[in-house]
Chain A
Amino acid sequence: MGEIRCPMCGKSNPAESEVCQFCQARLIPLVFSPAKSEPPESVPDEIPAGIDAAPTGESDWLLDLRPDESIPGEELPVDFVVGGSEDGNAPLDETHTSADDVPDWLARLPGEWTKEAEAEPLSDWLKMETGETEQPPSKPAEVTDWLSQPLPDEGQVENTESEFELAPGEFPSWLEVFRPVGDEPQTVPARGTPESIESSGPLAGLSGVLSAEPDHARPRKSPTYSLKLRVSANQRTHADLLQGLIESEGRAQPLPQRRGISSQHVLRWAIACVLWGAVLWSVITGKQEAPLPAYTEETAEVNRLISQLPGEARVLLAFDYEPGLSAEMEAAATAVVDHLMLRGAYLTLVSTSPTGPILAERFLKNQTGHHYTSEVNYVNLGYIPGGAIGLLGFVENPQRMLPYTLDMVAAWESEAQPGLRALQGVQRMNDFEMLMVIVDDPDLARAWVEQVQPQLNEPDTLTSLVMVTSAQVEAVMRPYFEANPRQVHGFVFGLRGGAAYAQLTGRGELPRTYWGPYGFGLVVAALLILIGGLVLSSVSLLARPPQVKGEANQ
């Protein structure tokens, strides 16, 4: 039984097969023009080589396909097949060839293959496929008629192609800019050129045939395409600038060298001299004695609530301010805590700030006239971390959150121990008669209200929530006092509130000491801002160049 060797993969197939069992390539070529073509004869078993096929007769389809010369605008760039130049930046001029010239790569390629075919025996892949040993391919016994037919005239092919030739599209100029440099329109390799002589396979020696190997099977270097856009010099400058900005983003920039002394420095020094000089003068001379301010509604409420506390009331006192604002907070709270101590209240100290417990100890130590002792009159439970989380946990179960004092003494009542006096009978927040928060930060103050106050809303709860805050918190926290029903039952805002409270109780030396220089300093500062600002704005207004009317209207 005869066998046909597939021209594509080289494997043996039964003689009657029309398509290869392995790669589905046609074993019996199609005949396009039955009038002119002759029935094909059997394909030779072995792949012929070195056949010089003389065209004796050519079918129309072959004639049609055969161009005389390469179609203009269809030339591949130099770097398309051979892999391009190293950087892929084949300039325009080098790749553009005329229609008459055959590209070098095309001229080179068949010759190379031809040379390779002549110089070397069968390629290794071919030997592997055919299983043959190293021997030169032998000539076939017969050449089929369709193979022996001459290729169509190039002139006829060109005429035919010229009928179907599409006019090359004209790109608008704005689109031309985006055409990558080096990305020339691909050209179909010229068919039927005398140089493209098949060197292997059953069509060996014939020119102008389709290659036996598909292009994608040919081992070659991958083509590289230039992605360089056509950019103008201006665009290049901008692109470099942007790239420089992006690259510098991650780098630490050196601090710019400042000029020696600028007008801003002088202004700042002048403000410092005037302001600090005025306050210092007031501090040294002590001449700015001023009457204490009248109390406000929120301050009076604190006074009323403390006055109504039962004897030996249990009060939770939270010290939640930073050491930097200790001057104001101590001045604001001193009269209030003094009032609590006068009532004989037991104080339980907590804080959500790491330095809070220490500030609490320092504050109580500075309260003159009272001999409050730790673990007798007051208990310092220490620090609750976590902000709002810690507050919520403390509200839910204070014993579990802070079981010991700052000195590691068990604070709460249990079966094993009676607990400290300040915490006797206290299980929850509602068991305290009063919660007083001394706070300087609006967010922290808000967290106290949000986490603690809802629990105090329970029925039959007599616990009141009051706050002693910094002046900067007044604006944000006042809505909690002005609410109906009130969420915070009383406020003492800043030194002004502390001085008013001192006026109410008749006690508290610190706010009285600070009050005079405080008012003087604020007035001087306000005048500085007002006068200095007006002068500066006048100067800058006069220094501005006069605007043309037209520009002004625009």
Chain B
Amino acid sequence: MKAPFYVAIAMAIGLIVLLGYFLHLDILVNLRIVLLEWAVILSAVALLVGTANLFYVHWRKFTTAQPNGFYSAVLIISFVITLVVVGWFGPTHAYSMWIFNNIQVPIEGSLMALLTVLLAFAGVRLFRRKPNLISILFIGTAILILFATGPLFGINLPGLSELRAWIAQVPAVAGARGILLGVALGTIATGLRVLMGADRPYGG
């Protein structure tokens, strides 16, 4: 199929969905709902494509005896066991919850806990660089908020909580609002480029 056909599809469908934000016509609303439903179904299929690709890559790695093929075998085995158990008994069954609570949650939680050391290490290394105003502001704010977030050895230092609240409500909000507006403008620019056919990430 030719590229202009894909562009036309993306533009037409995108236009219908976008107009629904601003116009409230019955036919537009109904059409929009149908398109969104189809998109949701396709998103689920895309998720399946991703997992299938993951399986295929590691299957090839294992069957062609590539380095670290053992880990690929482990991944495939855990994937298949989870598929069978959760698929057969359902996601909320005790067996499924057992796998979730005793394998996925501990590993993910431990990975998150590792960040305490890695982020502290990164913060210490930041001091090695030649300091400028921006880096001092950054690390200074971080240390101050860390001190002020939790109880300071059980002591409530006067003014520390108020300072934290002021930083959270004034300068941090200012920066965050600017970031949000900037992100929104960037999203609009990028989205409009796609809707106008200037960007074609779908291979057209």
- Chain A: number of interface residues, binned into ranges: 35 or more
Partner of B43, one of A326, A390, A475, A523: A390
| Contacting pair B150 A384 (CB below 8 A) | no
Partner of A324, one of B111, B168, B172, B173: B111
With A267-B124, A396-B32 given, name 6 new contacts (CB 8 A).
A271-B121, A386-B40, A393-B39, A396-B29, A523-B146, A526-B146
B47, B123, B172, B175 — which one has the most chain A CB atoms within 10 A of its CB? B123
Residues of chain B with a CB closer than 8 A to A358's CB: 91-92, 96-97, 100
Judge whether B123 and A533 touch: CB under 8 Å. Answer: yes
**Number of A-B pairs, beta carbon distance below 8 Å:** 183
> When the two chains form their complex, are residues B109 and A327 in contact, meaning their CB atoms are under 8 A apart?
yes
Contact between chains at B149 and A515 (CB < 8 Å): no
Selected interface stretch from A158-166, A202-210, A399-407: A399-407
A387 to B118, CA, bound (A): 30
Q: Which residues of A contact B180 (CB under 8 A)?
A: 446, 476, 479
Asked if B126 is an interface residue, CB under 8 A from chain A, the answer is yes
A361 and B97 contacting across the interface, CB-CB below 8 Å: yes
Q: Across the interface, which residues of A come within 8 angstroms of B37, CB to CB?
A: 393, 400-401
- The 8 lowest CB-CB distance pairs between A and B, nearest first, are A519-B150, A533-B127, A290-B151, A324-B108, A386-B43, A393-B36, A519-B151, A526-B146
Which of chain A's residues 510-554 have a Cβ closer than 8 Å to chain B? 515-516, 518-523, 525-526, 528-530, 532-534, 536-537, 540
A-B contact pairs, 9 of them (CB 8 A): A271-B124, A294-B161, A324-B111, A355-B104, A385-B40, A393-B40, A397-B33, A521-B116, A528-B120
Most buried by B among A478, A533, A537: A533
From residue 121 to 154 of chain B, which have CB atoms closer than 8 A to chain A?
Answer: 121, 123-128, 131, 139, 142-143, 146-147, 149-154
Counting CB contacts under 8 A, is A313 at the interface?
Answer: no
Residues of A that sit less than 8 Å from B by CB: 267-268, 271-272, 275-276, 288-291, 293-294, 296, 322-327, 354-355, 357-358, 361-362, 380, 384-387, 389-390, 392-393, 396-397, 400-401, 406-407, 446, 454, 471, 474-476, 478-479, 482, 496, 515-516, 518-523, 525-526, 528-530, 532-534, 536-537, 540
Q: Residues 33-55 of chain B: 1 if any A CB is under 8 Å from the residue's CB, otherwise 0?
A: 10011011001100100000000
Residues of B within 8 A of A293 (CB): 151, 161
A294 to B121, CA, bound (A): 31
Overall SS of chain B's interface: helix
Enumerate chain B residues within 8 angstroms of A523, measured Cβ to Cβ: 146-147, 150, 152-153
**A479 to B183 CA separation, bound complex (whole angstroms):** 14
Q: Which residues of A contact B101 (CB under 8 A)?
A: 362
A125 CB, nearest partner CB in chain B, Å: 47
Whether A384 contacts B147 by the Cβ 8 Å rule is: no
CA A518 – CA B146 in complex, angstroms? 10
CB pair B127 A534 closer than 8 Å: yes
B165 and A296 within 8 A (CB): yes
Known: A325-B112, A385-B43. A406 touches B91 (CB 8 A): yes
Residues of B within 8 A of A288 (CB): 151, 153-154
B156: interface (CB < 8 Å): yes
Per the bound structure, the CA–CA distance linking A297 and B74 in Å amounts to 50
Knowing A323-B100, A361-B97, A529-B139, say if A276 contacts B168 (CB, 8 Å).
Answer: no
Which residue of chain B is the closest to A493 with respect to CB atoms?
A: B168
Determine whether the beta carbon of B173 is less than 8 Å from that of A482. yes
Chain B contacts with A in 75-112, Cβ cutoff 8 A: 90-92, 96-97, 100-101, 104-105, 108-109, 111-112
Check A386 against B39 for contact (C-beta < 8 Å): yes
- Chain A residues with CB below 8 A from B154, complex form: 288-291, 519
B169 interfacial by beta-carbon distance below 8 Å: yes
Q: How distant is the Cα of A189 from the Cα of B123 in the complex, in angstroms?
A: 78
Task: Answer yes or no: B163 CB below 8 A from chain A CBs.
Answer: no
CB distance A354 to B139 under 8 Å? no
